[in-house]
Structure 1
Amino acid sequence: MHVLITVVGKRTEHWTDLFDVLCEQPDVTLTVLAADVSPVTRRELARLAGRHLGLRYHIVPHLLGESLTGHMASVLFRLPGQHDVTTARPDILHVIGEAAYFTTWQALRLRQRCWAGVPTTLYAAQNVVTRFPAPFPRIERQSYLSVDHAFPITPAALNVLRVKGYRGPATIVPLGVDTRVFRPLPTDPAMRPFTAGFVGRFEPHKGVTDLLRAAELIDCDVSLVGDGSLRGEIERAAARRPGRVHRHGWAGHADLPGLLNRMDALAMPSVEVVQRNTLPWVGIPLREQFGRVLVEAMACGVPVVGSDVGEIPYVVGDAGLVFPAGDVPALAACLARLRDDPPLAGRLANQGLRRADAEFDWERIVDTLCATWRGLRSPTRPLRTPPAEAGHSTREAIA
């Protein structure tokens, strides 16, 4: 089964874990078409291609881009007229990108032009019903009519699909974690002060400053992994509390499990904000769509604490504590509970390990994806047809 996956955006490093596990399936060969991705993603794809004979990848130029407009929806692949990716017909086209993205529209047009009848599936993470400006609503409607199966990552994402008009089949498939890499490592918590951790972008909507204030209230250490516009705030906090605030740059798979294992709790104190960096007159609410690092911490046996924004409570489940977003004393109280009640911290850590293994392991997720894709390849299954372009007619294709 040859699967072609399209993916765009700076924050795509975690998808390489999925690609790695997919390539271990004996009947799967994989082609990845990517654009506007991070240097870490480039390195990971090169590493995987050296490890798996069944993986090919193409990082192609792009027009516009996330750094210019502030949103991945604006990225456009720039493929030459003849490109290797168009010559090998896939058995499945899987689009990692929302229905309204330009690259989703491009992938569906590529299918219509080069591989008519190939079953197509779509990732979906949008958890807020947002009305985009033209031409995005039209792209979104066409995508919903063309896609054969959707993979929303949470129940909220499935609800958004239904509210916005998608009527096709869907299966909730969360983001995953490689439990072979993210796992508990031998540490001695007694040899260090209680440490609250954070992994992600140092941006206002991530609640980094709330975590710094909460840690100061209960006099615990803080370990922050990432980078962003609030780096100066973190450096000032470190100057106020010498030796108690530790900042690390972005960490890849080789280093992140070790950093997580040196944390006594992982915090995701996000708050909701309205993004206006695409068009200033269009406000897009930003609520955490998943919180992948919560799952990575669970897999390492680290208790998690999250705000009640977006999908954080859904991901945390019974493996951590949830507090009202923006409530610094409540966040401090959650951290203090984990510090002062070792049996509670141990119970949550064990529940997190079970949750990571039972629900978020990439191997289980790949089983679900591949089972769906094999079903879509059934010779008796009628395919959904893409909407007709103006001046053209289409007919139903049977796989």
Structure 2
Amino acid sequence: MHVLITIVGARTEHWIDLFDSLCERPDLRLTVLAADVSATTRREFERLGRRHPGFRAHLLPHRLGEGRTGHMASVMVRFGGRSGPSVSPPPDVVHIIGEAAYLSTWQVLRMCRRHWPTAPTTLYAAQNVVIRFPMPFPLLERYAYRRVDTILPITPAARQVLRVKGYRGATTTVPLGVDIRIFRPRPEPDTGRPFTVGFVGRFEAHKGVLDLLRAAELVDCDVVLVGGGSLDDDVDRAARRRPGRVRRYGWTGHTELPDLLAQMSVLVLPALEIVQRNVLPWVGIPLREQFGRVLVEAMACGIPVVGSDVGEIPYVVGDAGLIFPAGDVSALADRLGRLRDDPATARELSEAGLRRATGEFAWDRIADRLDRVWRQLHEERMSVPVPARAGQKARDDADREVAA
């Protein structure tokens, strides 16, 4: 089976592990069309191409990039004119990593209708807040809802948003994952190591970094932070105020991240909810944590996790960690103190997190789930008589509400 995946935007490195896992299936061939991706993603594509003969990646130019508007919804891709991209053989299934309202999603669906009308399509969905985009994005969203065969939300909340916004088609929840070959428990640390709270991500106000630093100071514990952002100066000031107790590392590749996680006694994701205005200044977009992938990575390493009650953090953590009210520094300090003073609880959460990560979020399990969905769609489509498929194509060509 030949699967074509399209993806846009700079924050795409975490999909590489999924592509790697998919390519390990001997009867699955994978082609990726990508635009506006990072240099790291490009290097990873080259590595996958060397490792898997059945993997191909085509880097496409874009007409409008994320850097111009600040949002991936506005990315427009150059697919190669009327002849379309060079994809051979034709795909059996097309999977779009991008929300329904994205311009690139609309482009891909039009391309499928023109070049691969019999290939079923699936669409990723992560939005966990009902966002009312300005025109023309609602039209693009409704067009996608009509055209795709199945949508694959990453959480139950994302599925509920689809229903609220009017999608009535098939769904299968497929979460983000973790490569348990890389993210795995390290040897037990020296028992003399001080209790250390960790954070991985962007140093931004909505990530709750400053709340974490205040809570750690209340508990009088060490801190390890990995990442960077607009709060770099605040983090540096905290490090100077507590010399040797606050350690900061820059962005690192995921192959190096497990060694940094191993320095942590607990990982915290203290996210806050904000309203973003980076597409049009008069359009506020509520932002809640859509998943919190670093939580899964920490759990896979046997690190206990603590998260705020924002967005999908409680869903990802489940019963394998502790939750506190977002923005409540005292409550966060209470959770940290509990883990510091009760090693048995910390050990129980470590074991529960490891079971949850390997049982629910391992990329190989997620690849299996995707493989089943795609094969079922392909088999159902191939079971439809050719005249019926031709009639469907004619109806498709008459559908020009948005494509005109």
Tell me the TM-score normalised to structure 1 length.
0.95
Higher mean C-alpha deviation, range 373-382 or range 204-213: 373-382
Alignment of 1:54-73 (within 5 A): 54-73=54-73
Alignment of 1:15-54 (within 5 A): 15-54=15-54
CA deviation vs aligned residue, 1:171-217 (integer Å, no higher than 9, x gap): 11110111111000114142421111111111111001110111111
1:372 paired to 2:373: yes
Instruction: Give, in angstroms, the shift of residue 53 of structure 1.
Output: 0.7
Whether the 8 Å CA contact 1:86–1:114 is kept in 2: the answer is no
Report the CA distance shift for 1:390/1:150 in structure 2 as closer, same or farther (over 3 A).
closer
1:147 paired to 2:145: no
Code of the aligned partner of 2:318 = G
Tell me the distance in 2 between the aligned counterparts of 1:314 and 1:392: 38
Superposition RMSD in Å: 1.7
SS of the counterpart of 1:376?
helix
CA deviation vs aligned residue, 1:37-59 (integer Å, no higher than 9, x gap): 12221221111111111110012
Report the CA distance shift for 1:391/1:131 in structure 2 as closer, same or farther (over 3 A).
closer
Alignment of 1:279-358 (within 5 A): 279-358=280-359
| Structure 1: stretches of 5+ with no match in the other structure | 394-399
CA deviation vs aligned residue, 1:316-341 (integer Å, no higher than 9, x gap): 00110000000011111111111111
Alignment of 1:242-257 (within 5 A): 242-257=243-258
SS of the counterpart of 2:57?
strand
Whether the 8 Å CA contact 2:73–2:104 is kept in 1: the answer is yes
Match of 1:396 in 2: none
SS of the counterpart of 2:170?
coil
Whether the 8 Å CA contact 2:154–2:175 is kept in 1: the answer is yes
Report the CA distance shift for 1:164/1:189 in structure 2 as closer, same or farther (over 3 A).
farther
Whether the 8 Å CA contact 2:5–2:96 is kept in 1: the answer is yes
Tell me the distance in 1 between the aligned counterparts of 2:231 and 2:7: 28
Tell me the distance in 2 between the aligned counterparts of 1:363 and 1:94: 17
Instruction: Give, in angstroms, the shift of residue 35 of structure 1.
Output: 1.2
Code of the aligned partner of 1:68 = R
Report the CA distance shift for 1:374/1:208 in structure 2 as closer, same or farther (over 3 A).
same
Match of 1:362 in 2: 363
Instruction: Give, in angstroms, the shift of residue 36 of structure 1.
Output: 1.4
Instruction: Give, in angstroms, the shift of residue 272 of structure 1.
Output: 0.2
CA deviation vs aligned residue, 1:115-172 (integer Å, no higher than 9, x gap): 1121000000000011100010000000000010111011100001111111111111
Tell me the distance in 1 between the aligned counterparts of 2:39 and 2:250: 14
Tell me the distance in 2 between the aligned counterparts of 1:83 and 1:51: 27
Whether the 8 Å CA contact 2:3–2:91 is kept in 1: the answer is yes
Instruction: Give, in angstroms, the shift of residue 392 of structure 1.
Output: 9.2
Code of the aligned partner of 2:284 = G
The alignment-based identity, stated in percent, is: 65
Instruction: Give, in angstroms, the shift of residue 101 of structure 1.
Output: 0.5
Whether the 8 Å CA contact 1:187–1:262 is kept in 2: the answer is no
The aligned length equals 393
Instruction: Give, in angstroms, the shift of residue 67 of structure 1.
Output: 2.0
1:171 paired to 2:172: yes
CA deviation vs aligned residue, 1:199-251 (integer Å, no higher than 9, x gap): 11111110011101111111111111111111111011111111111111111
Higher mean C-alpha deviation, range 200-209 or range 75-84: 75-84
| Structure 2: stretches of 5+ with no match in the other structure | none
Match of 2:118 in 1: 117
Report the CA distance shift for 1:189/1:285 in structure 2 as closer, same or farther (over 3 A).
farther
Alignment of 1:5-20 (within 5 A): 5-20=5-20
Tell me the distance in 1 between the aligned counterparts of 2:402 and 2:274: 43
Code of the aligned partner of 1:66 = E
Instruction: Give, in angstroms, the shift of residue 64 of structure 1.
Output: 2.4
Match of 1:220 in 2: 221
CA deviation vs aligned residue, 1:344-398 (integer Å, no higher than 9, x gap): 00000000010011110111111111111111111225888757015999xxxxx
CA deviation vs aligned residue, 1:50-98 (integer Å, no higher than 9, x gap): 1111110012121322222111101111233256534531011000000
Whether the 8 Å CA contact 1:3–1:91 is kept in 2: the answer is yes
Report the CA distance shift for 1:392/1:58 in structure 2 as closer, same or farther (over 3 A).
closer
Match of 1:274 in 2: 275
